Amino acid sequence: MKIALTNVNYASKIKPARSKRENFIFCLLTSLLLLGLLISPAAAATEWKLSPSNPVVGDTLKITGTASPGENIRAEVTFEKKIPVSGGKYQLSLNNIKIPDGKDNLFSVRAEGVRNLHVGVKKLIWINLNADASKGVATISQAHVPAWTYDILIDGDALSGKSPVSLRVSASQTLKADSKGKFEFSYGTSSMPEGKFNIKIGKSEKTIDLKYRQQKPAADFSAVSTSGYTPLKVTFTDKSTGSPNSWKWNFGDGKSSKEKNPVHIYDRPGKYTVSLIATNGAGSDTESKSCYITANVLKPPTAGFSADKTSGYTPLKVIFTDKSAGSPNSWKWDFGDGKSSIEKNPVHIYDRTGKYTVSLKVTNGAGSNKATKSSYIDAKVLKSPIAAFSASTTSGKAPLIVKFTDKSTGSPNSWKWNFGDESYSTSQNPRHMYFKAGKYTVTLTARNAAGGTKITKSGIITVSKSRWY
């Protein structure tokens, strides 16, 4: 006997037409549905054995045993599955079911937690059989299924709120021992689903757990970091698929490891090729990455720095920026005013006037270096500005437009203009229009944080009368 169950599909859906004639044919087809799983032992068999004892999908199973010479033997195989429910319906599809020749074949499907049960078998056309459930249980049984390769569909409606549905599929066949009472049977499992199958030969029962054959792994890995200075610490991570259970790393520097995710330190400079052999029960695979790790010699750094400003008035805020080369990992600043910092890019405020020499010492694992800039920062005392201004023109006919320009020294930051005609401005360089004839005195007050000064120019603007004003 031989049956191969493949391509289990819970999603396919078939709704063929059904008739009494089809039901009769179905009786002939379904009898040998699972008899290919049956091994030909004897009803009176006292001994039979299975080889291999722990089969995987794709193995050829062989059963041998003894019974009375010429004795008819009843063999039965049963398997159960939990079928998920979707939209109130359950469904199990079995494709390419191979039914061999047999005698007195009996096939049955029992569904629990259902409202009804439908079994469809496709040879050249779909043949269907249906049964309503009683107290949530529905059963369909048929006999005399001819040898063929079939597609089988088992589906129906589940009870409300029931999931999953339990399916129990059984097949039995009558076999006959030879004249010496021996029986032997072999069949392939390449098209069978994984799972537990109960085999009953006569009164003797055994359960096999058919599993998919393990594939050898596909080796792969990553690393952090792949370049740096010696001593370079690298963390390797196994990325292999296929469930390996042993690992062998070659780090390319004469060192190796059997850990899954090893940490390795490269003490010498160079480019290193790393390989990983990943292994499981089905075999091994090797992944090699050429020149994957680059370890460089660390040299002492070369100090360098800049500042966003090098002169100004106290309190003078200066932002210093490290410009050192050679990957320093520590910094020591001397700002020249008795203050220091170990930040990489510090901010410093000079409160007193003076010229300050700034130095930076940088260090890494290979050594240190120092840069000094003499009189780099010039902090000055802020004094009150000295107000001064000019005018683009000082005479003309009304309306007269005059542009005033601030000429004050000492960095003023606010201005107040009095144009002598009861008009004012706070712009640094305002424009003003005189509408009436007359002589006008202009005053500018310039200020900063230290104070302010004022300049007045009497009668600086002379406006003469026009025919319109």
State the Cα–Cα distance between residues 469 and 464, nearest whole angstrom: 9
pLDDT range class, residue 3, cuts 50, 70, 90:
very low
pLDDT digits (tens, 9 = 90+) for 295-325: 999 899 999 999 999 999 999 999 999 999 9
- The CATH superfamily label for domain 305-380 reads Immunoglobulins (2.60.40.10)
**The CATH fold of domain 389-464:** Immunoglobulin-like (2.60.40)
**pLDDT of residue 9 exceeding 50:** no
* Residue 30 in this model has a pLDDT that exceeds 60: no
Burial of 268 (0-12, 13-18, 19+ CB in 10 A): exposed
* pLDDT at site 29: 42
Confidence at residue 10, expressed as pLDDT on a 0 to 100 scale: 35
Tens-place pLDDT, residues 65-96: 888 898 888 888 888 889 999 999 999 988 87
Is the confidence at residue 377, as pLDDT, over 70? yes
The domain locations on the chain are: 6-210, 221-296, 305-380, 389-464
At residue 5, the pLDDT reads 35
Which one is predicted more confidently, 383 or 4? 383
pTM of this prediction? 0.45
Q: Report, as an integer, the average pLDDT of 228-235.
A: 94
Domain 221-296 has CATH 2.60.40.10: yes
Average pLDDT, the chain: 87
Fold equal for 305-380 and 389-464 = yes
> Residue 34: its pLDDT value, please?
40
Q: In 10 A of CB 320, how many CB atoms?
A: 23
**What would the mean pLDDT of 351-371 be, rounded to a whole number?**
96
Given a cut of 90, whether residue 404 has pLDDT beyond it is yes
pLDDT digits (tens, 9 = 90+) for 166-186: 999 888 888 788 999 888 777
Structure tokens at 138: 């529905």
